Structure 1
Amino acid sequence: MPRIFDFGGREVERSLTVADLRQLKGSGRHVAQVTAETAEEAAAAEAAGIEMVICRAANVPRLREGSKRVFVTAALGFAEAITDDEILRSAFAAVTGGADAVLTSRSAEAVRLIAREQIPVMGHLGLVPRKSTWMGGMRAVGKTAKEAAELWDRFRGLEDAGAFAAECEVIAADVMAEINKRTSLVTVSLGSGPSADVIFLFTSDICGESQRLPRHARAWGDVKRLQDQVKQERLAALKGFRGAVAAGDFPAKGEVAAIPADELEAFRLRLENGS
């Protein structure tokens, strides 16, 4: 496992580095990425052998409590980092706090700003949900030759801006395969087929927590069933408590502190004597 100094000046072990990710190009190998926002989720990802996680930038310290080894990409908030100064401050805060890279869905200029500081930066291409109004809704990208060509131009724009990777969301799989052969970017497929370098799914989809499973996802667990069971048990317990209070059954004698009878009598005498 590689040992590096992170951007916070700490000597650390990582599951992989940016250099390792770049070496995936043309190798036929893939690594896996999932979402994580808590120490528990980060620890579970590491224990499962997941190499990469992505989180909101503010949650990087929490993730590092759960895993020192996974490759963490911090997503910069859309409204939290607007000006050039805010973008840079957010990016530096994320990487000095333990992130290995940052992701921005902003313009190529924002990518260039971060890349100039040699902070590994990932762009976001294909379906960008926050920008889906331009596409007329949530849909796959690259299903026509014209749209695929426009997408390829955006890949080249990210390359020129200095990005090392791109999150590729819901791009037609055959188009993704053709682009992946030609781009120098590390490609991260979220619903864009198996030809990318990194295969990405949301932890909530993988674990069966989502209300609706996207077509591009698959569930290997049924955490929602367990969560529903926990909700039912919580409600039953709270109702039981309320009923016991109403009935005078709680607290019972064994659930309160006791005072010896002679001490209680002495206390009563003091009260009666006004002392």
Structure 2
Amino acid sequence: MAKNIYTYGGHPARRNLTVACLRANKAAGVKMTQVSALNGDEAAACAAMGIDMITIADVDIVEVRAAAPETFVTGSQTMVQYMTEDEALAAAIRCAEAGADAIYTPRGLKTIERLAGEGLAVQGHLGLVPRKSTLVGGLRTVGKTAEEALRLFQDFKRLEDAGAVAAEVECVAVEALQEIGPRTSIVTHSIGAGSGGDIIFSFMEDICGDVEDPPRHAKAWGDVLSIRKALAAEREKALTGFREDVQSGAFPDAAHTVGMAPGEENKFKEALDRWTPVHQ
């Protein structure tokens, strides 16, 4: 049942989930779903299909909130959008004011602490952070050894201390997250980290089969890529036909034009022959 809330911007609203719900579901072992959305259409589809949470680019919050007014939405900042803690905080407040329920940031603990200190629900990122992948030797699974899994657990504790509510946990060994999850208050969003996450997160394009070379952890329940390719092929066929018919004179033809009334063309030609310019 939807909960009545006030948004960070001070507006009454209803939400399918609150942060308190996320924590209660974590404690009860209730699994939740999260999907990315690039626009209002995708957000509306998520809401209609009962997806629990939507993650978006923070700049799309107005469109997405209008399309999915009651779904828990996380507004995501990228690594390079906001250079300073002040910039990240200002952007987070704008996003929350427009209706975001949480703010994701891949930046460091100081940024997370700054945002959390203003009463924002903050989500960090642990495990493989693709844009920082050079630090762990490339795109790989994190926590496959006991030593590395322990370091990951310590990272969770630092994130807790910084005030984060949640974390995207990406490409982590299944057993590592299974053991860490119950030992942290952090609500875990698993992507490529197994079923030990409190929330199972996947990208819309992976779910819909719209990726040419999907990552190992992605599963497709649709085949949008084939449809997109067929659409592109049909578009190319249409454009080629248009160009060729124009060049050959086959288009526009009588079936696609309107002529003058009978006898009016001759009258028009005679009038043109008699016409003389007013100014020579």
Please report the TM-score for the alignment, with normalisation by the length of structure 1. Answer: 0.94
User: 249, 273, 277: which is aligned to 1:274?
Assistant: 277
The aligned counterpart of 2:109 is 108
C-alpha separation in 1, matches of 2:250 and 2:78: 51
**2:65 & 2:270 partners in 1: Cα distance?**
57
Query: Which letter maps to 2:176?
Result: V
Q: Which amino acid in the other structure matches residue 167 of structure 1?
A: E
Alignment of 1:161 with 2:162, yes or no, is: yes
Q: What is aligned with 1:18?
A: 19
Q: Structure 2: how far apart are the matches of 1:64 and 1:248?
A: 50
Greater Cα radius of gyration, structure 1 or 2 = 2
Paired residues of 1:37 and 1:62 also in contact (CA < 8 A): no
Alpha-carbon separation, structure 2, partners of 1:263 and 1:59: 57
- RMSD between aligned alpha carbons? 1.8
Q: Deviations over 1:26-65 (max 9, x none)?
A: 2121110011111111011111110111111112222123
Runs of 4+ in 1 over 6 A off after TM superposition: none
Query: How far apart, in 2, do the equivalents of 1:54 and 1:132 lie?
Result: 22
Deviations 1:131-175 (A, max 9, x none): 000111101111111111111111011100000011111111111
Q: What is the CA–CA distance in structure 1 between the aligned matches of 2:261 and 2:53, rounded to whole Å? A: 61
Paired residue for 2:47?
A: 46
Q: CA deviation at 1:74?
A: 1.1
Partner SS state of residue 25, structure 1: helix
Alpha-carbon spacing, 1:239–1:2, altered in 2? closer, same or farther (3 Å): same
Structure 1 residues 268 and 100, CA, compared in 2 at 3 Å: closer, same or farther? Answer: farther
State the alpha-carbon separation in 2 of the partners of residues 8 and 255 from structure 1. Answer: 55
Q: Give, in whole Å, the separation in 2 of the partners of 1:243 and 1:155.
A: 62
TM-score, normalised with respect to structure 2: 0.93
**Does the CA-based 8 Å contact 1:140-1:171 persist in structure 2?**
yes
Q: 1:252 to 1:16 in 2, by over 3 A?
A: same
The residue number in structure 2 matching 1:226 is 227
Q: Name the CA shift for 1:274/1:14 in 2 (closer, same or farther; >3 Å).
A: same
User: Could you tell me which residue of structure 2 aligns to residue 81 of structure 1?
Assistant: 82
Query: One-letter code of the match for 1:52?
Result: M
Check 1:268–1:35 CA distance in 2 against 1; reply closer, same or farther (3 A cut): farther
1:59-138 correspondence to structure 2 within 5 Å: 59-138=60-139
Note the C-alpha offset of 1:14: 1.5
Deviations 1:68-122 (A, max 9, x none): 1221111112111111221111101111122111111111110000001101100
From the superposition, tell whether residues 261 and 65 of structure 1 become closer, same or farther in structure 2 (CA, over 3 Å).
farther
Change beyond 3 A, Cα 1:248–1:41: same
Tell me how far apart the structure 2 counterparts of residues 225 and 39 of structure 1 sit (CA, whole Å): 23
Structure 1 pair 258–4 and aligned structure 2 pair: CA distance change class (3 A): farther
- The range that moved more, 243-252 or 150-159, is 243-252
Amino acid at match of 2:159: L
The 2-side partners of 1:261 and 1:14 are apart by: 67
